[in-house]
Amino acid sequence: MINRFAWAIGSIALFAAAPALATTTCPKALQFFSDDTGGILWQKPRIDSPLDPNNSRLMVHVLFQTGDDFAGAFNDCTGIEGKTLGQVRNLSFDFMNESGNPVHIGAGSPAIRVVLDTNGDNSFDDVATLAAFYCGVVLPEDIRWSRADFTGRTAAGCLIWLNSDGTNPAAMSDGINSAWKNFATAHPTWKVLGAFFILDEVGTAFIDRLAMHNRMFIQAGSGTSAVKNCPSESSC
């Protein structure tokens, strides 16, 4: 695994500031962040995930990596903050794969990163990486696209990694339980401080249907056509 967590420590300040950004109405639009050569934006009309009909997708790009290049997204209306691992659902996204496309699918990103409190003091202790590389399944509706579903996929082969151990996966799907389910079972008292999507390796990724707990983001905007509610795992 690579050193990909330098920005995660600083992200705690981002989540701490999130209430100041919050509106009185949820869901709100996906919020972007980037630094140096990183960039992220919604594109439309484009070839997007075959699992939604709106022809909209996220483009995320990092031109160089000199230690501070990244781009990503978060939302302060997902409801994931403060949840135990066992209470979390819907950590997934669709991504354009390498079927004829020179896109980036690296060991560390594109990924959802989950910031963790492991000892109950409400402060940063670790980061879980949910990377497309370790959980992608090609979509039969369009083989140019794959889906990484860390909470819904039970078929063996989906892996979750922790910053504190880059040698061994923290959890994996086993044919019965999802990788996240096994992660939660192993650490029943751990809590989530926040979650965000990020690309911090050189390359370009195309993402759609980004789901974090109670929300799935499918196009630009803050209304119900852009942000889908996810009251259950199966709904997103």
What's the domain range around 81?
A: 6-18+27-49+56-235
Q: Is residue 157 part of a domain?
A: yes
In a domain, 13, yes or no: yes
Residue 1 lies in a domain: no
Task: Flag whether 88 is in a domain.
Answer: yes
pLDDT in tens, 50-59: 999 999 999 9
SS3 at position 115: strand
The answer, yes or no, to whether residue 116 has pLDDT greater than 90, is yes
Q: C-alpha angle 172/176/181, rounded to 5°?
A: 50
> Given the DSSP bridges, would you call strands 111-117 and 126-131 parallel, antiparallel or unpaired?
antiparallel
pLDDT at 5: 46
Residues 6+ apart with CB under 8 A from 184: 84, 85, 86, 88
Cα dihedral 204, 18, 4, 153 sign: negative
Model pTM? 0.91
From 215, 200, 222, select the one nearest 1 (Cα to Cα): 200
Q: Is residue 213 in a domain?
A: yes
Residues contacting residue 193 through CB under 8 Å, at least 6 positions apart:
12, 15, 81, 82, 115, 116, 117, 122, 123, 124
Q: Which residues pair with 212 in a beta bridge?
A: 91, 215
Mean pLDDT for the stretch of residues 58-86? 96
* Sign of the dihedral through C-alpha 43, 112, 199, 51: negative
**Can you give the pLDDT at residue 70?**
97
C-alpha distances in angstroms, 9 versus 14, 16, 106?
10, 12, 21
Q: Is 10 helix (H, G, I), strand (E, B) or coil?
A: helix
Of 3-7, 178-182, 192-196, least confident by mean pLDDT is: 3-7
Residue whose pair of structure tokens reads 């209304």 in the numeric block: 223
CA distance 40 to 57: 11
Residue 192 lies in a domain: yes
| Number of domains into which the chain is organized | 1
What SS3 state is found at 219?
coil
